[in-house]
Structure 1
């Protein structure tokens, strides 16, 4: 099995991809370890601040030393330059809020998994043309589960992962998975600013494990 497929299997197998950013390096690593303890093996760290690259390198070092089976990806990649920098820093996969041809070219050249954000059938078709296997439906709160139901049969080979506005409730998760998504991306609804600031790593592990159990029960 190639690395791209392995990462897809990790994300779809659990049905959940946690994503977050924090400026504190120690908190970033603490959250990563808490997610790992809960059973997560793929995480998206978002490129949303000046400290993102330095923090990502430290997180990658922690993975190599203590969590060798963790797949650490970088999100909010909006151009080829950022893609190249984070690939050099050890990113296992790339996620973008939209589609950019220069990122697609880098991903293809480096043979790295890239999941672009899409919110229209045209954008999904564009992603397909680059050989993309899994797209991020963003923002999920705007599109809704009904969108997935409407387009899924048109793109039978594509895997869908809504991100943005997905929460941990049974009702919300049930609607998404019933519509046919393969996983959900979950940020602040799972990893709130408050719980990270408080360094409540036990709480993060607990809430994440509960979300995984809810998803497993739904599926």
Structure 2
């Protein structure tokens, strides 16, 4: 794992403004995507645990990081059980992201002193996450909740940081609307690393879109 505190990782996510996330069964494709994102300026990436090859491919990304990308912060996403959390922490995950709030995952992260970002969809879930010590939550699915949801509840949680994932487009209108509502960063998955681009292995376009997303985030934050 990288030698950064939980606060430093959160600050790195905030500074980057966007958090790319992806999964693919092809190990070499995962390596190419990671290298493309890194070359575009990304230093924090979420690899999602969404398929049978996830663990082996994640280990390949950890090896890539250790050999060539030492300042990369590598998260594993879609963690829903304590077993998954322990397995990926031991494999080298710098932090964990979940689509839900799960108390057992929370306990594993706490015991390992690893940052955990749970997914929340209701004020109650956000409240539970805050009481468990979470400083940043993922609003998921963002396309269902919408910016109006965050605008409506943000004053209830003045000390909580929010990051939507799902439905965020690489556009000033979409990213700008979320920032105006009060997020600290946005998660970008299929809108950035689409199936079409992956099928064509169009790493150039993925890199260009990544730089565009980072530029938009930097501009709207101001």
Q: TM-score, normalised by structure 2?
A: 0.96
Q: In the TM superposition, what whole-angstrom CA distance separates every residue of 1:157-211 from its partner, at most 9, and x where no partner exists?
A: 1100000111111111111000000000010000001212222222211110011
Q: Which residue of 2 aligns with 1:159?
A: 161
Q: Which residue of 2 aligns with 1:199?
A: 201
Q: In the TM superposition, what whole-angstrom CA distance separates every residue of 1:72-129 from its partner, at most 9, and x where no partner exists?
A: 0100001000000000100001011101110000000000000000011100011011
Which residues in structure 2 correspond to 1:65-214 (within 5 Å)? 65-214=67-216
Which residues in structure 2 correspond to 1:40-51 (within 5 Å)? 40-51=42-53
What SS is found at the alignment partner of 1:72?
strand
Q: Structure 2: 5+ residue runs without aligned partners?
A: none
Distance 1:209 1:15 in 2: 11
What SS is found at the alignment partner of 1:144?
helix
Q: Number of residues paired by the alignment?
A: 219
Q: Which residue of 1 aligns with 2:25?
A: 23
Distance 1:41 1:215 in 2: 15
Residue 142 of structure 1 deviates from its aligned partner by 0.7
Residue 2 of structure 1 deviates from its aligned partner by 4.9
- Would you say 1:5 and 2:7 are equivalent positions? yes
Distance 1:21 1:2 in 2: 24
Distance 1:6 1:145 in 2: 27
Q: Structure 1: 5+ residue runs without aligned partners?
A: none
Give the aligned CA root-mean-square deviation in angstroms: 1.0
In structure 2, the CA distance between the partners of 1:58 and 1:2, relative to structure 1 (3 Å rule), is closer
